[in-house]
Homo-oligomer: A and B are copies of this chain.
Amino acid sequence: MSAATSARVRPARVGRPNKDSREKDAREAILDVAEERFSRHGFHGVTVREVANAAHVNTALIHYYFGSKKELFDAVFMRRAEIINAERMAAMDAYAAAHGDGVTVEGAIEAFLAPVLTRLANGGPGWRNYFALVGLVNSTTAWGGEVMTRYFDPVIHRLIDLIACALPEASKEDLYWSYNFLSGSLTLSLAETGRIDRLSEGLCHSDDVEALRPRMIAYAAAGFRRVCEGK
């Protein structure tokens, strides 16, 4: 009887139909909200309460799932890092396999950027928020350098190795400095601060990935060549 009653409360699917999905929903909802807030205000600009309210759960649930606020932040940062870096690694491997000895600076950079720009354009607000967070973390002196190193170094070394094939004369120093310039350009673009919108008085838009993509590749490739070839 009580079973029949409780079955009538949530009928659509019988048994324990949405138990798992509800669990996942709560966890994911917390991550989504935290991602959005952290990307705009940084780690210290967000409170656990604020995340809990926006995700329609209690603060205790956040600690139940993630332990501490810091661990929540790490979970946010890691969730998409693993996905995007696997995609970038695969894109560069595929490019290298297809071109072998004929790799170009432009081709290597395009393979490195393509998964990011695609997710930025078509991945929805979650991915946009995530990339804004990466941009903010990358510029944070206190712990940004360490966090970025932990999650992003392997994919960057793959890019540098690829470009070194295209520019065999290049010194290690020139390659690292050039990458640092590319990294700055990329993460500022990902941060989507609305800076270029205001500066250009509405002519350009931070979120216009189709305008960004070809210019970013051209700019970075020309920069790499000039610095590394010295011409």
Task: Report which A residues bind B (CB closer than 8 A).
Answer: 39-45, 132, 135-136, 138-142, 144-146, 148-149, 153, 156-157, 172-174, 176-189, 191-200, 203-204, 211-212, 215-216, 218-227
Chain B proximity of A192: nearest CB distance (Å) = 7
Bound Cα distance from A76 to B169, whole angstroms: 45
Bound Cα distance from A216 to B226, whole angstroms: 10
Let me know if A138 and B195 touch, CB within 8 A. Answer: yes
A174, A178, A183, A226 — which one has the most chain B CB atoms within 10 A of its CB?
A226
Bound Cα distance from A61 to B180, whole angstroms: 41
Bound Cα distance from A45 to B174, whole angstroms: 35
Let me know if A43 and B40 touch, CB within 8 A. Answer: no
Provide the residues of chain B in CB contact with A132, threshold 8 Å: 141
Chain B proximity of A106: nearest CB distance (Å) = 10
Let me know if B220 and A139 touch, CB within 8 A. Answer: no
Main SS at interface, chain A: helix
Let me know if B44 and A188 touch, CB within 8 A. Answer: no
Bound Cα distance from A91 to B91, whole angstroms: 44
Let me know if A198 and B45 touch, CB within 8 A. Answer: no
Query: Given A184-B187, A198-B149, A226-B222, A41 and B215 touching (CB < 8 A)?
Result: no
Provide the residues of chain B in CB contact with A173, threshold 8 Å: 200, 203-204, 211
Let me know if B188 and A180 touch, CB within 8 A. Answer: yes
Provide the residues of chain B in CB contact with A211, threshold 8 Å: 173, 177
Let me know if A139 and B204 touch, CB within 8 A. Answer: no
Let me know if B193 and A215 touch, CB within 8 A. Answer: no
Bound Cα distance from A14 to B88, whole angstroms: 70
Chain B proximity of A38: nearest CB distance (Å) = 10
Query: Given A138-B195, A176-B200, A188 and B187 touching (CB < 8 A)?
Result: yes
Provide the residues of chain B in CB contact with A221, threshold 8 Å: 226
Provide the residues of chain B in CB contact with A172, threshold 8 Å: 200, 203
